[in-house]
Amino acid sequence: MLWVEGTEGDDELSILATGPDSGTFQFNGGSVVSFTSLTQLVFAGGEGDDLLSIQNPDGGLFVPAEGILFDGGSGGETSGDALEILGGFAATVEHRFVDESSGSILYNGSATQTITYTGLEPILDMIETQNRNFSFTGADETITLSDDGVAGDSYSLIDSTLGESVTFLNPINALAIQTQASGGTGVDTVNLNGLDSSFSADLFVTPGSDDAVNVGNLDLGAGDLTLSGIVSFNGAFTTTGGVIVDSAGDLTFAVGASLSAGVDSVELFAEANLYLGAITTPNQIQLTASGGSIIDANGAAENLNGYLVTLIASGGIGTGDALESSIVGLQANAGGGLSLENTGMLFLGFSGGIDGVTTNGTTRITSTDNMTVYESVTVAGGLLQLENTGGDFLLQNSATISNTGASGIDIDSAGSITLVEGTRIESSGTGLIDVQSVNNLLVANLQTSGNVQLTSTAGAIRDNLTGEGPLVESDTLILQAATGIGGAGTLDLDTEVNSITAHATEGPIMIDNFGELFVQLPELLDLVLDEDALEQTIDLSQITTAGGNSQPLTVIAQSSQPSLIPDPQVNFAAADTTAGLVFTPIANQSGVATITLIISDGGTDYSTETTGDNRTIYLTFDVTVNSLNDDPELDSLSDLLLLKNASEQTVNLSGISAGGGETQPIRVTAQSSLPGLIADPVVNYTSDDATGSLVFTPITDQTGTATITVTVEDGGLDGNLATTGDNAMITRTFDVVIQEFETLSMRVVESPTSVGVQGEVETLPNHQDGISEWQTYWVEFWVNTIDVASLGIATVTLDLNYQTDFTTATDIEYGTAFSQSQTGTIDDLTGQVISLSATADTNELGIDGQLLFARIRFDSLAADQVLLDLEGQSIGPYDLGLQIQSPQITLGSGRISQTPIIDSPGASIWANPYDLNDDDRISFRDLLLFASVYNSVPAESSSDYAWFSDINQNQRVDFKDLIFLASNYNKTKLSQTNIIYPTNYPDAWNQNLEVALAPQNTPEATALTQSQADTMLQTAVLEVSPTVSNAEQQKLADVKVDVVDLEGSTLGRLVGDTIYIDVNAAGYGWFVDTTPLDHSEYTYDSQLSLIALPGSEAAGLIDLWTVIRHELGHLLGAEHTDEGLMAETLDPGVRKLAESHAETDQFFGSLEDETELLSF
């Protein structure tokens, strides 16, 4: 035995144990004294703050046989007497507290105290142990578990109002707190306020049944929690282990309190109510309130987040405030109602545990995704509602959904509903069964003494049984579907009900009731008609009784709106079949009427007279009659012809109304198609008036045609012009033509036109657009006016320009009526006729027809010359340059028109090819030049005269050409002898390809290079050569191309074996296609024409490929055609195609001169 007596001051006794009863000790820093076989240690500390420090041996304990006694004494209470137990290992360490300063410590489950102490505070326990127990034996006390204040140091702290505070090393396996062990008494409170962050052992709290356990912000790491007493969760409890709580009274979660567990389940049991906060676990949750209800204490926040959940209560579950959850499976047994709102898919029932859901009160379960009833849902005493706001609903696994008495069953799905064969929805009483889906509803067995309502808002109602047994057994049945009810044959809905009401927006209605009354309509659709629709007939021939029996059948129809649709008539085709339903909407009425077909059989006694047992099917459909807004009205309007600079105009409007006898506000507007000529007219109109007017003034000095659109718009069915959706409108248009009333026309004729007494004709003479050299011609001027109030043409004045190099104006003749004040001077030096003027001697001329003002004769005199273009191999045409200048027409009314309409088509002149030497006579010299090329082919001749000597342009100089020359031999220009030309003169002499539009002066048009032209020619020759004869292949081999500046609109021209190409495509620029055979820059326009794609490189440019191919056509003997590749003009952005491609080219290319063409 070792007895150490303390001093009056602070004493410290240090034990350094080397074994259970051996080691050394040191007192107050004195000598170290060894001991062995120690049986007992007594330290009497006396006064002062005394410390007993025991260092256990490694892996063991210092345990003298008769124990350790530490008496702290009563003095020196500055920081208190302390006990330190350092190191060592024990399977179990138990601290047993007697009062606030006395207690004992027991090791490894021993009933004998190893250390007994009195007068201590505090204790430091650093023993490594598997399990650590704290037993409190005092009366009423408050026990608090918390961290020691140093996070992560592996030490926690427990304290009590009737026990020493102990700072302890966290146990490895478990920490147990007991309040009633070893004779403990009183009503205690255990506060689980925290643990060191490294704590990861199980926690057991075993209080008395009347003790309170409060769980604060507590993290057990991976430990399990086991609690009893009266339990409250006041903070955030976390563990990755499991939780078992058995509360002797209420089990309460404070607002915002939560429980988060790990892989193990959560089991909460309350002998009274369970006030539920938030529980989260990936595993199962079981909640039981054996003497009360499970109540949502978490407001709108989530209560349950887990996998499979079992809820048991003697009262209700979530009845005051629905439980919010995110779980997968639910089982429940409630003595009251149940309300749960789940996020995600939900199974009702799962293997193991209790069977499905059983409640005794109003029950509502919802999910946001698929809902599957896997085990039965049984409710007594309240409405049952099952709803999934997303996904589909499935009843399977032979499960039953049932209710009792008058309580209903309501199933609602945002998707489809499938009731698997073998399942059942039933009410033991008269409760309504209401099943509603958005998509298809597949029906199995439904049974009630009350009513059944089945609805599919966007799908069909279908039979989901393999046999023909009844799907629905009830008093009444209401069927509402979008795409059909039942199907043909065994897919019809088999029912045993007294009354059926059915409506399908589209699709069939197929019902078999009691196997005796059949409805098999392919469709019974809602109808939408317009006002004043004609008689309507609905086929009902597929409503029958069972074949071979004597079941009578009656069919009548009723309208919910007889003022719109009078009761329709049902026509019978036979005793057991209805043929049709006929009705006609009341005229000028609109609205919606529901038509109900009432189909009844004779019931079990086969008599329609005894109505008590009759069975009835009600089929409904809606007839919507739309109101029609009649078009408003406005009388037609006449076109106007106005003189330029006319004054303000007023156009009267009449016949304005809303139409159809309707009374609606009316708006009249007007719009001009050409505001630069006529601005939008001003409308003068007051609503409901039958008349109005338009006022406008033409823009000064402008001419043209504007279309005026007058719109009359009514206020529609709502009588509101501002809501335009239902407004009706009508438009009337009229043209306003603003022009000069006078026209001055110029015509070139070969001889003077024959006229009436006053010089008038009904129509203008034909215009001669081509004149041959040496030919005499006349230029005639004609005038007219459309102004009937003008008193006719009075005076005409003009100047004329002409090309004086080619012909000479030799005489002026005035029209018969223009006998007064005649003036006019010919200045051939400048090519002008100046101040050509005269006044008519009679009024009212030139109104009804064309009036000849004057004519000028032109002759080819000695000084005039149209030379043969030997270099360009051309005889023309050359523009005569006829242009009217400074025209003025004075009317009999005194009005002067200084800008009359000028109708002046151009004219050209052609050189005389017989006069080969251009000496104004056809003589021996011309014959010698002709003889020099006789029997030659112009394309192969080196002479400049060969092409001109080919008078008939048949590609050779032969005898026929000689005959033409001989027929004109010795004729001269001055003799004005008529020259005889071939019939194809001059057209055959002009095979130039020209741009269809006027030439442009575009400096930026890129010049075509000679190499580009050569490459395109080579490509074209390679493409054409395989389709023609050997002789023509030689022509293709010899052909050349030359880039030059061609005159005017000419794009290309063949002379001999040379193709001349204009350098800049008449100012439009060339499209040089590097891949001309794929046409990728073009799209189809016609069989012989392609048009450039917008934005492509070919858009707006002349296609060089077309021009080269065109000229090769001339080389091979082709002439101009109306369309296709050989057309005489070409538009920018267009590619022309050969008429019939390779086959046709090959055919014509094979023709020889000797080929004989047979007529057919």
Is 272 in a helix, a strand, or coil? coil
Q: Cα–Cα distance between 347 and 376 in angstroms, integer?
A: 11
Provide the CATH topology of domain 538-628: Immunoglobulin-like (2.60.40)
- Kindly report the backbone phi and psi dihedral angles of residue 612, in degrees, each rounded to the nearest multiple of 5, phi listed first: -60, -30
In this predicted structure, what is the pLDDT of residue 431? Answer: 93
pTM exceeding the 0.85 threshold for the entire prediction: no
Q: Cα–Cα distance between 992 and 984 in angstroms, integer?
A: 15
CA proximity to 99, closest of 160, 149, 166, 148: 160
Q: What's the mean pLDDT in 593-600?
A: 85
Strand 729-739 relative to strand 41-44: parallel, antiparallel, unpaired? unpaired
Question: Rounded to the nearest 5 degrees, what angle is found at the Cα of 366, between the Cα atoms of 361 and 367?
Answer: 155
Q: Cα–Cα distance between 1157 and 1160 in angstroms, integer?
A: 9
Q: Specify the CATH class of 742-910 in words.
A: mainly beta
In this predicted structure, what is the pLDDT of residue 570? Answer: 84
Q: What's the mean pLDDT in 165-193?
A: 89
- Tell me if 1064 sits within 8 A of 1008, measured CB to CB: yes
- Tell me if 489 sits within 8 A of 508, measured CB to CB: no
> Which CATH number does the domain 640-739 belong to among 2.60.40.3450, 1.10.10.10, 3.90.1310.10, 3.10.450.50?
2.60.40.3450
In this predicted structure, what is the pLDDT of residue 641? Answer: 86
* Side-chain-facing half-sphere of 183: CA atoms under 13 Å: 5
- Tell me if 796 sits within 8 A of 782, measured CB to CB: no
Is 944 in a helix, a strand, or coil? coil
Quick one: what percent of the chain has pLDDT higher than 70?
94
* Residue 80 in this model has a pLDDT that exceeds 50: yes
Q: Comparing 15-24, 268-277, 466-475, which segment has the lowest mean pLDDT?
A: 466-475
Which residues make Cβ contacts (< 8 Å) with residue 151, sequence separation at least 6?
196, 197
Q: What's the mean pLDDT in 981-1006?
A: 77
Which residues make Cβ contacts (< 8 Å) with residue 1131, sequence separation at least 6?
995, 996, 997
Q: What's the mean pLDDT in 511-522?
A: 72
Beta bridge partners of 683: 694
Question: Rounded to the nearest 5 degrees, what angle is found at the Cα of 306, between the Cα atoms of 305 and 307?
Answer: 150
Q: Comparing 325-339, 412-426, 1044-1058, 1123-1137, which segment has the lowest mean pLDDT?
A: 1044-1058
> Which tokens is 186 given?
């009183």
Whose structure tokens read 């000695």? 862
Instruction: Give residue-wise pLDDT tens across range 734-760.
Output: 999 988 888 999 999 999 999 999 999
- Tell me if 1081 sits within 8 A of 1096, measured CB to CB: yes
Q: Cα–Cα distance between 735 and 1070 in angstroms, integer?
A: 42
Q: Using only C-alpha atoms, what is the Rg of the chain? A: 59
CA proximity to 283, closest of 251, 320, 308, 313: 308
* Residue 548 in this model has a pLDDT that exceeds 60: no
State CA 485 to chain mean position distance: 33
Instruction: Give residue-wise pLDDT tens across range 1054-1096.
Output: 887 888 899 999 889 999 999 998 898 998 888 889 999 988 9
Q: What's the mean pLDDT in 422-427?
A: 96
- Give the mean pLDDT of the chain: 89
Please name the helix (run of DSSP H) or strand (run of DSSP E) that holds residue 968, with its range, or none: none
Q: What's the mean pLDDT in 43-55?
A: 91
Give the 3-state DSSP-derived string for 158-209, with helices as H, strands as E and coil as C: EEECCEEEEEEECCCCEEEEECCHHHCCCCCEEEECCCCCCCCCEEEEECCC
In this predicted structure, what is the pLDDT of residue 1048? Answer: 76
In this predicted structure, what is the pLDDT of residue 1115? Answer: 87
CA proximity to 851, closest of 841, 859, 865, 861: 841
* Residue 37 in this model has a pLDDT that exceeds 90: yes
In this predicted structure, what is the pLDDT of residue 408? Answer: 95
Residues in the chain: 1160
Q: Where are the domains of the chain?
A: 1-208, 538-628, 640-739, 742-910, 924-987, 991-1149
In this predicted structure, what is the pLDDT of residue 520? Answer: 64
In this predicted structure, what is the pLDDT of residue 542? Answer: 66
Please name the helix (run of DSSP H) or strand (run of DSSP E) that holds residue 818, with its range, or none: none
Q: Cα–Cα distance between 122 and 108 in angstroms, integer?
A: 22
CA proximity to 981, closest of 677, 689, 772, 722: 772
Whose structure tokens read 């009374």? 663
Question: Rounded to the nearest 5 degrees, what angle is found at the Cα of 74, between the Cα atoms of 68 and 76?
Answer: 105
Q: Comparing 183-187, 194-198, 831-835, which segment has the lowest mean pLDDT?
A: 183-187
Instruction: Give residue-wise pLDDT tens across range 681-729.
Output: 999 999 889 999 999 999 988 888 999 999 999 988 888 989 988 888 9
Q: What's the mean pLDDT in 63-75?
A: 86
Beta bridge partners of 682: 695
> Which tokens is 167 given?
């700072």
Q: Cα–Cα distance between 451 and 472 in angstroms, integer?
A: 10
Residue type, 265: S
- Tell me if 365 sits within 8 A of 343, measured CB to CB: no
- What confidence tier does 1143 reach under pLDDT thresholds 50, 70, 90? very low
* Residue 382 in this model has a pLDDT that exceeds 60: yes
Number of other CB atoms surrounding residue 382 within 10 Å: 22
DSSP state of 1024: H
- What confidence tier does 499 reach under pLDDT thresholds 50, 70, 90? confident
Q: Comparing 35-44, 503-512, 722-731, 767-776, which segment has the lowest mean pLDDT?
A: 503-512
Quick one: what percent of the chain has pLDDT higher than 90?
65
> Which tokens is 515 given?
């196997």
Query: C-alpha distances in angstroms, 131 versus 84, 89, 108, 151?
Result: 19, 11, 9, 21
- What confidence tier does 77 reach under pLDDT thresholds 50, 70, 90? very low
In this predicted structure, what is the pLDDT of residue 579? Answer: 65
Strands (E), 98-136: 103-107, 115-118, 120-136
In this predicted structure, what is the pLDDT of residue 1148? Answer: 35
Interior/surface letters 804-837, b for 16+ CB within 10 angstroms, e for the rest: bebbbbeebebbbbbeeeeebebebeebbbbebb
Q: Cα–Cα distance between 728 and 582 in angstroms, integer?
A: 32
Please name the helix (run of DSSP H) or strand (run of DSSP E) that holds residue 538, with its range, or none: strand 536-539
Is 799 in a helix, a strand, or coil? strand
Q: Cα–Cα distance between 725 and 716 in angstroms, integer?
A: 8
Strand 577-583 relative to strand 569-574: parallel, antiparallel, unpaired? antiparallel
> Which tokens is 745 given?
């026309």
Would you put residue 701 in left (φ > 0), alpha (ψ -120 to 50) or beta? left
Instruction: Give residue-wise pLDDT tens across range 242-253.
Output: 999 999 999 999
